[in-house]
């Protein structure tokens, strides 16, 4: 019998303000990240109030990480110092590898009704790849497969695989799974996991339980090690994001939008940013 993961930690999202005045909810960040290695931060930026998000995230640098933006409603315009620009729309994912350094901006626009919903996850890069050339990988909604499981669960597969369906994201060093799952009322979801990988779920709708702990919109459950995880929906459908990834087990030096391995590397990054040598061509 496979060993089912127990609950290691439960977190509730907390309101915060970032960028030029964007009201969002931080699910986890600097203080919790050592327990969620290789994941660094998760922000929930769902809002139906344009004045809470339209000021956006003007030009800012990143180095040493990947940012994964998943938009579930609305549009986000983006541009960067390499000349890339575009729009992340409803159902799209942008997987940005900052690597050696990129300066970009993200400006939420919402939808015609003023709704702007989505999530941004930060994932760490290992020391060996922190200075790799930056890259963007944009995945439109029509490229993200959706599979229906035997219990009626509907799963959008962004990365990893389930039910014989493979997600479009590959060649990621942390070997992630990223699933958007909707579980019918009263049903149980059991998913096999690599025993040594970090695994968590973040509930974004409905109610249910995981490892005996109640969960609802805005609840994150981090699981302990094990060969599978189990989640159940209560008397209404439960929607949640499921993330797993291979821990890096490396030292972290983190300040603002830059994450390196040593304080010396961090100091150099900010020095290069001030001196205009941050972008490597």
Could you write out the three-class secondary structure of the chain?
CCCECCEEEEEECEEEEECCCEEEEEEECCCCHHHCCCEEEEEECCECCHHHCCCCEEEEEEECEEEEEEEEECEEEEEECCCCEEEECCCCEEEEECCCCEEEEEEEEECCCCCEEEEEEEEECCHHHCCCCCEEEEECHHHCCEEECCCCCEEEEEECEECCEECCECCCCCCCEEEEEEECCCCEEEEECCCCCEEEEEEEECEEEECCEEEECCEEEEECCCCEEEEEECCCCEEEEEEEECCCCCCCEEECCEEECCHHHHHHHHHHHHHCCCCCC
Quick one: average pLDDT of 100-110? 96
User: Does the pLDDT at position 170 exceed 90?
Assistant: no
Quick one: average pLDDT of 166-181? 93
The per-residue pLDDT for 185 is 98
Question: Measured between alpha carbons, how far is 86 from 108 in angstroms, rounded to an integer?
Answer: 12
The per-residue pLDDT for 2 is 87
> Of the ranges 20-34, 60-74, 79-93, which one carries the lowest mean pLDDT score?
79-93
User: Does the pLDDT at position 281 exceed 80?
Assistant: no
**Which pLDDT tens digit goes with each residue over 211-265?**
999 999 999 999 999 999 999 999 999 999 999 999 999 999 999 999 999 999 9
**Which pLDDT tens digit goes with each residue over 82-98?**
888 999 999 999 999 99
Higher pLDDT, residue 57 or 170: 57
Quick one: average pLDDT of 52-59? 97
Residue 12 backbone phi and psi in degrees, to 5? -115, 135
**Which pLDDT tens digit goes with each residue over 187-217?**
999 999 999 999 999 999 999 999 999 999 9
Instruction: Give the rounded percent of residues in the chain with a pLDDT score beyond 90.
Output: 93
Residue 23 vs residues 39, 92, 211: alpha-carbon distances, Å: 22, 21, 31
> Based on C-alpha coordinates, what's the Rg of the chain?
18
Q: Parse the chain into domains and list their residue ranges.
A: 7-275
Higher pLDDT, residue 83 or 47: 47
For domain 7-275, the question of CATH label 2.60.120.10 is answered with yes
The per-residue pLDDT for 106 is 96
How are beta strands 253-255 and 177-183 bridged, if at all? Answer: unpaired
Quick one: average pLDDT of 39-54? 98
By C-alpha distance, which of 97, 127, 61, 122 is closest to 261?
127
Higher pLDDT, residue 169 or 224: 224
**Cβ neighbours of residue 94 under 8 Å, at least 6 residues apart?**
67, 68, 69, 78, 88, 136, 137, 138, 139
Question: Measured between alpha carbons, how far is 119 from 45 in angstroms, rounded to an integer?
Answer: 6
């Amino acid at each position: 019998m496979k060993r089912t993961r127990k609950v290691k930690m439960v977190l509730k999202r907390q309101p915060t303000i970032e960028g030029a005045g964007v009201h969002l909810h931080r699910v986890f960040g600097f203080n919790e990240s050592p327990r969620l290695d290789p994941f660094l931060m998760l922000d929930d930026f769902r809002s139906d109030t344009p004045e809470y998000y339209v000021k956006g995230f003007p030009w800012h640098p990143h180095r040493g990480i990947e940012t994964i933006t998943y938009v579930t409603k609305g549009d986000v315009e983006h541009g960067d110092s390499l000349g890339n620009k575009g729009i992340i729309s409803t159902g799209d994912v942008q997987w940005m590898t900052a690597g050696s350094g990129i300066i970009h901006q993200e400006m939420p626009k919402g939808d015609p009704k003023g709704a702007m919903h989505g999530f941004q996850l930060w994932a760490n890069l290992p020391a060996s790849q922190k200075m790799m050339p930056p890259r963007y990988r944009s995945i439109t909604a029509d490229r993200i497969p959706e599979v229906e499981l035997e219990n009626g669960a509907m799963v959008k597969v962004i990365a990893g695989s389930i039910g014989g369906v493979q997600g479009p994201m590959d060649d990621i060093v942390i070997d992630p799974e990223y699933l958007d799952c909707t579980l019918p009322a009263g049903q149980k979801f059991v998913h096999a996991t690599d025993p040594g990988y970090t695994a968590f779920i973040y509930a974004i709708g409905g109610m249910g339980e995981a490892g005996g702990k109640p969960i609802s919109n805005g609840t994150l459950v981090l699981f302990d090690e094990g060969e599978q995880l189990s989640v159940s929906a209560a008397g209404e459908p439960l929607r949640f994001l499921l993330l797993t990834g291979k821990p890096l087990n490396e030292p972290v030096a983190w300040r603002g939008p830059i994450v390196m391995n040593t304080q010396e590397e961090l100091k150099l990054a900010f020095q290069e940013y001030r001196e205009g040598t941050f972008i490597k061509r």
